[in-house]
Amino acid sequence: MRLKNVRGAKAVIENSEYIIQKPSSYKGKFNTIFDNSNPIHLEIGMGKGQFLTGMAKSFPNINFIGIEMYDSVMVRAVQKQELEQLPNLRLIKVDATGIEEIFSNEIDVLYLNFSDPWPKKRHTHRRLTSDRFLKRYDSIFKGVKTIVQKTDNRKLFEYSLKSFTDYGYKIVELSLDLHNDEYFNVETEYEMRFSELGYPIYMVKVTK
């Protein structure tokens, strides 16, 4: 369940040096924010930032950007980053529906972790692995298009596999029980919770 009405969240986000303000002004040149030409990895729906914080620590030669649309969730990620002060991590408050207006040919890997499954058929187009979103992602990638998805929702996972392959992506890694496989893995907050409840975690990495 998402946090709601965190007092002062908006002010914290607006005043943090780790939030990229007016992100569209950096379209095509996000490398200037990090002052290097390292690969850029992007997570849509970063939640409280546990995954990206862990990834940024593990891979200091990769730049990480997380986007989230909810103040009450993003403020927790900001607070983590204020403590860690990782030079290769930045955050953006934005709705993913406008992602192609922010990035242009500069993302190397896209992470979709525990996205909203939008289970009702009439909401299919809102899923982050729908063809509508896959089309949006086309222009943000720098070279080989690479997407990594993790979820506990079997139906969303099955839908995503079909959506990816129908759109021309190839499956290069796949796990039906990630925590019992040997893949390198940094957990999200939701992932820890679902795993503790005994749910298997599904993962797929696709390229195009």
Residue 116 appears among annotated catalytic residues: yes
Q: Which residues contact 121 (CB under 8 A, 6 or more apart)?
A: none
Distance of alpha carbon 90 from alpha carbon 64, whole angstroms: 6
The two tokens of residue 86 are 């990782």
Contact between 110 and 45 under an 8 Å Cβ cutoff? The reply is: no
Among 116, 166, 177, 181, the active-site one is 116
**C-alpha span between 61 and 72 (Å, rounded):** 30
- DSSP 8-state secondary structure symbol assigned to residue 179: G
Q: Which residues are catalytic?
A: 116
